[in-house]
Structure 1
Amino acid sequence: MKRKSNRYTLDVTSLNAFYGKAQILFNMSLGIDRGEVVVLLGRNGAGKTTTFKSIMGIVKPKGGKILFNGQEIQDLPPYQTCGLGLGYVPEDRRVFSRLTILENLEVGRQPERKGLEPWTYQRLFELFPNLSERRNQFAGTLSGGEQQMLTIARTLMGNPEVVILDEPSEGLAPVIVDQLAATIRQIKNEGVSILLAEQNLSFAKRICDRAYLIYHGSVCYESPLDQLDNDEYEKYCSI
Structure 2
Amino acid sequence: MEFETVIYEVDNKVATITLNRPDNLNAFNSQMVLDLREATDATYKDSSIRCVILTGKGKGFSAGADLKENMTQPNDPNAVEKGLLEGYKPVFMNIINMPKPVISAVNGPAAGIGYSFAMACDLTLMSEEAYLLSAFSNIGVVPDGGANWMLTNTVGYKLAYQLAIEGEKIPASRCLELGLVNKVVPSDELLSEAKEWATKLSQRSPQALSQTKKIMRMALDSTFEEIFSVEAKIQNQLIGSADNKEAVMAFLEKRPPKFQD
**TM-score (norm. length: structure 2):** 0.29
Higher relative contact order (Cα pairs below 8 Å, separated by 6+ residues): 1
Query: Which structure has the greater CA radius of gyration?
Result: 2
Q: Which has the higher helix share?
A: 2
* TM-score, with structure 1 as normaliser: 0.31
